[in-house]
Amino acid sequence: MSDEDGGGWLAEIPQLTGCMSDGDSPEEALVNLNGAKKVWIETCLELGKEIPEPVNPEDFSGQLRVRMPKSLHKALSEKVKDENVSLNQLIIYHLAKGVGHKI
């Protein structure tokens, strides 16, 4: 992502809180991030802090079964008629907005 203050690029590893670096280009930011990651992990080891395991994208199927009150199901079903989308599309849209995912 672009760093608005300095005009450079910022790269971060969200699973490693506070682990970030920057650079004049996306590529440089990523190279610098590898160095920051090494220092971040070394510091955690020195301090005896837990290092989170990497997230494996294969652990997520993209499918989820949700139970909801009948009244909510009815309200959502009415909303899809207004929006002219499927119930699945409407729910995904609102979930994405709720977690701040860019749509």
Contact (Cβ atoms closer than 8 angstroms) between residue 59 and residue 37: no
Residue 32 pLDDT grade (very low, low, confident, very high; cuts 50, 70, 90): very high
Asked which of 2-6, 26-30, 68-72, 96-100 is least confident by mean pLDDT, the reply is 2-6
Residue 84 identity:
N
Residue 5 pLDDT grade (very low, low, confident, very high; cuts 50, 70, 90): low
Other CB atoms within 10 Å distance of the CB of residue 15: 11
Q: What three-state secondary structure class fits 9?
A: strand
* Average pLDDT score, the chain: 90
For residue 4, the model assigns a pLDDT of 54
Record the pTM: 0.54
For residue 6, the model assigns a pLDDT of 63
Residue 47 identity:
L
Residue 1 pLDDT grade (very low, low, confident, very high; cuts 50, 70, 90): very low
Q: How far is CA 40 from CA 29, 45, 85, in A?
A: 16, 9, 45
Q: Which residue has the higher pLDDT, 26 or 101?
A: 26
The average pLDDT across 21-37 equals: 96
**Cα dihedral sign for 72, 77, 83, 85?**
positive
